[in-house]
Amino acid sequence: MFIGFDYGTSNCSVASMVNGVPTLLALENGQHYLPSTLAAPTRDSVSEHLFRFSNIQPSDATGQQLLRRAMAANREEGIELHAEDLLFGQAALDLYLAHPQDLYYVKSPKSFLGAMGLHQVQLSFFEDLVCAMMANIKQRAEMETQQPIDDAVIGRPINFQGSGGESSNQQAEQILRRAATRAGFKRIEFQFEPVAAGLEYEASLTSEQTVLVVDIGGGTTDCSLLRMGPNWRGKRDRSDSLLAHSGQRVGGNDLDIHLAFNQLMPHFGAGSLLESGLEMPMKQLWNPVAINDLSAQNDFYGQRNLAELKLLHKEAQQPEKLARLLAVYHDTLGYGIVRRAEEAKIALSASPTYHSQMAVDKETLAFDINFDEMQQALDTPKQQISKLVREAVSQSGEQPDVIFMTGGSARSPILRQAVAEVLPNVPLVSGNDFGSVTAGLARWADVVFA
């Protein structure tokens, strides 16, 4: 059996073909979308759990070295792992929100796969993270279908997040392929996520069109300009139909991060002053919410940063705000702050104001955000997305007949307006914002594995 597998930055989903129609499979409590999260007692628990309870061997000598280190570290800490200690999806998120300081939690490891300058052991650990998540999803899908699943078409962005250009793309795809192989998939193909979304839209067409697909995912925005229609449907060689691609690290996570920084981090010291009159260093307020930037997270939560945070607290004109920032450090609250921003972004798409609360140390902070404040906070990612649309059209030298917007953030009225302003005379249509990519991947799997 084959599936289309959207290993997403925010959510994961899979689909199979049933009577010629893509059907998303339930993965958690009847839901089709599993949050891309993992929680474990410690960082070292991931590799040992994969080996001990999933019987998945390391792929090379570096992986074996990582496993030995992990098992030794867990023994030294007196940690005895159990099968239920590794959590995924909403269960992992719920545990993190309840006990952020007591576990290892990661969201969106896909965001890190293209990072340059990493040691082989770090790359091997990312492979273990992805493998654990993929093996878990494969198991859930097989329970749902009551069939073994051997083959998968996995979605990938035009450009993974990373500074290495094509080197970042190759590194990330290699990690995904190795992880998927270890998770038990036998035949693995990749397809660009916006192309997959376009394939799902194409299934509804009765005539030929030139379609600009704008896929605003959790980690990236990708644009593909495609010739589509009945004459192309089902063809394996579509090279002549692919007119242009553009993609960049700007997605739903970036919207949440910018909103968190602009509207929430002032409660933690952003924009405040030191006794010297200098403004608080921006990186100390940006790094904790930059959850898609591995170096930023390491810099903020590293042991060496604690002394600097204590010094800033001592020299701050508003020390109570820096006390909250210290609580963010000690209790690993960065993900929780971004989560509040994400909730605000979703709510403000339908309501002019949003109110939320968050427990920080021994106080409860109240946050109030309105639509205009969100619009101002999201100006930078909005401009980046507009630039990607222009780039795709410019590359092809052709105007699209229609714009197909999809992805979790495609519902945002701010982003829809941004795209419409670039191509004001082109109709803008939508499909299943969360499921179009997955369905298109299943359609492509039906072509390549038939």
| pLDDT for the residue 219 | 87
Say what the pLDDT of residue 106 is.
93
Q: What is the pLDDT along the chain (450 residues), one digit of tens a residue?
A: 999 999 999 999 999 999 999 999 999 999 999 999 999 999 999 999 999 999 999 999 999 999 999 999 999 999 999 999 999 999 999 999 888 888 999 988 998 899 989 899 999 999 999 999 999 999 999 999 999 999 999 999 999 977 778 999 999 999 999 999 999 999 999 999 999 999 999 999 999 999 999 999 988 999 999 999 999 999 999 999 999 999 998 988 999 999 999 999 999 999 999 999 999 999 999 999 999 888 899 999 999 999 999 999 999 999 999 999 999 999 999 999 999 999 999 999 889 999 999 999 989 999 999 999 999 999 999 999 999 999 999 999 999 999 999 998 888 889 999 999 999 999 999 988 899 999 999 999 999 998
pLDDT number for residue 34: 97
Token pair for 40: 């474990």
Q: pLDDT value at position 187? A: 98
pLDDT score recorded for residue 412:
87
Q: In the numeric block, which tokens belong to residue 281?
A: 């260093």
pTM metric for this prediction = 0.90
Separation of alpha carbons 259 and 276, rounded Å? 28
Domains of the chain: 2-185 (3.30.420.40), 254-349 (no CATH)
C-alpha distance across the termini of the chain, in Å: 10
Handedness of CA 193, 433, 408, 406 (dihedral sign): positive
Where would I find the beta strands (DSSP E) of 130-256? 151-156, 187-192, 209-216, 221-228, 242-248
Q: Are 408 and 11 in contact (CB under 8 A)?
A: yes
Instruction: Note the pLDDT of residue 236.
Output: 94
Q: Please name every residue paired with 353 in a beta bridge, in sequence order, or none if there are none.
A: 370
> What tokens does 364 get?
């409860």
Instruction: Give dist(CA 319, CA 104) in Å, integer.
Output: 29
